[in-house]
Structure 1
Amino acid sequence: MNPRLKALFTVLIGSFAALSCVDPDQTQEVLLERDKEAIEKYLLENPIPSVKEFSEPVEGFYMFWEVSVDPELNNLLRGDTVRVDYTGKLLSNKVFDTSIEQIARDNGVFDSNRNYQPLRFAVGNGFAITGFEFALSLMRAGEKATVIFPSRLGYGSQPNGPVPANSPLIFELDLIEVKNGLNHLNP
């Protein structure tokens, strides 16, 4: 058989095999709708008291501030360095990660090899998952908020440690400090 024809045949068979394994229930649109329904159910069953709210229901993104500060303070910009305490949960309220030692101990996720302290990173460099960084971009130093978002803004279809694939996530955030980066300089 002609090597080119054999290669084309192999690619076609491989493509057909790969496509036949795609579960139609797992398309991005179906997963997003499933996540949004689960998030809305969670919010109905677990009302979150807040002093301020932000939501994008079409995207399945909800944020509730426990503490809000003066809206005149600088917005967080790409390149700013943040220090943030956080607790990550699944919609079952099971804690999967936290920067706070006592919360880790109380929820059975304590790791004696870990140094529990606020997370410090430069925003916009891909260090944190999309939903986490987007939530921080809406906050100012001194604010505390709870954010809930669909799996596509979290770990998506990839499981990550104790987080199963396609899991909507909840984060309780305490933005302790923001150090302005170069984007705050005037031109």
Structure 2
Amino acid sequence: MKKTLAIVFLVLGTVAFFACNDGIDYEKMRKEELAILDAYIARVHPGAEPTPSGLYYFNEEGTGSGDTIKLGDRVQIYYATWALIDAEDSVLVDETSGYLDGHRYEPYSFVVGAGTSITGLEEATRYMQPGTRSHLVINSELAYGQQGSGSIGSFQTVLMEVEVYKVIPLDTE
């Protein structure tokens, strides 16, 4: 009886594994993403080095003042988001963000370190100050990963233009 149950569970587990494996080569997709990311960085930001997590951030000179943003601070940002399609091209995917055609929408607000925004954006804010404008290059591991999100596909690097509008320190909330 135990042997029969073990065989049944083995067969069911194997069937479940192959049913979940949709035939997509995710490892290949990730390698392709990293090749596109490397080519983009070499073309647009030659010699740039990522943070230990793999995030690239480029703060515009002359922007930002005051203390750096800390874990637990609430930030309000304006942003625009693109999906990196290939080293030469990206596609705007967020049409309600703050920089489109000079229009300002309501700022996006989140608590740094609370896990309510993508990891790469939360990390990047730690290198910024109120008023900072930055260009972010966020690999899929720090963005939406294998599952993607909306117009951003599986294993797709995200490009963001971000401006920190306001910081509400943890101790004043």
TM-score range, shorter chain: 0.7 to 0.9
Tell me: CA distance 1:25–1:180, structure 2 relative to 1, closer, same or farther (3 Å).
same
TM-score (norm 2): 0.77
Per-residue deviation, 1:16: 2.9
**Paired residue for 1:180?**
169
CA distance in 1, matches of 2:126, 2:4: 52
Q: Does 1:82 align with 2:75?
A: yes
TM-superposed deviation, 1:126: 1.4
1:23 to partner: Cα distance: 6.1
**Equivalent in the alignment of 1:94:** 91
SS of the counterpart of 1:155? Answer: coil
Whether the 8 Å contact between 2:64 and 2:133 is mirrored in structure 1 is no
Structure 1 regions of 5+ residues with no counterpart? 107-114
C-alpha contact 1:154 1:168 (8 A) present in aligned 2: yes
Deviation at residue 120 of structure 1 after TM alignment: 1.3
| Aligned position for 2:50 | 55
Secondary structure of the structure 2 residue equivalent to 1:94: strand
Equivalent position SS for 2:60:
strand
Aligned twin of 1:36: 34
Retained in 2: the 8 A contact 1:145–1:173?
Answer: yes
Contact 2:146–2:154 (8 Å) recurs in 1:
yes
Where does 1:62-141 land on structure 2 (aligned, <5 Å)?
Answer: 62-67=56-61, 68-70=63-65, 73-92=66-85, 93-97=90-94, 98-100=96-98, 103=100, 116-141=105-130
| Structure 1 residue 26 corresponds to structure 2 residue 26 | yes
Q: Judge conservation of contact 2:30–2:155 (CA < 8 Å) in 1.
A: no
Residues 143-182 of structure 1 aligned to structure 2 (within 5 Å)? 143-182=132-171
Alpha-carbon spacing, 1:149–1:177, altered in 2? closer, same or farther (3 Å): same
Q: CA deviation at 1:134?
A: 0.9
- Match of 1:74, as an amino acid? D
| Secondary structure in 1 matching 2:93 | strand
Give 1:22 shift.
7.6
TM superposition shift of 1:89? 0.5
Query: Is the CA contact (8 Å cut-off) linking 1:75 and 1:139 kept in structure 2?
Result: yes
Query: Do 1:156 and 1:165's aligned partners in 2 also have CA atoms closer than 8 Å?
Result: yes
Native 8 Å contact 1:35 1:60 kept in 2: no
Letter in 2 for 1:156: G
Q: What's the secondary structure of 1:91's corresponding residue? A: strand
Distance 1:6 1:137 in 2: 56
With normalisation by structure 1, the TM-score equals 0.71
> More displaced, 61-70 or 153-162?
61-70
* Cα pair distance change 1:38/1:59, threshold 3 Å: farther
Name the CA shift for 1:10/1:160 in 2 (closer, same or farther; >3 Å). Answer: farther
Structure 1 residue matching 2:50: 3-state secondary structure: strand
Alignment: residue pair count: 161
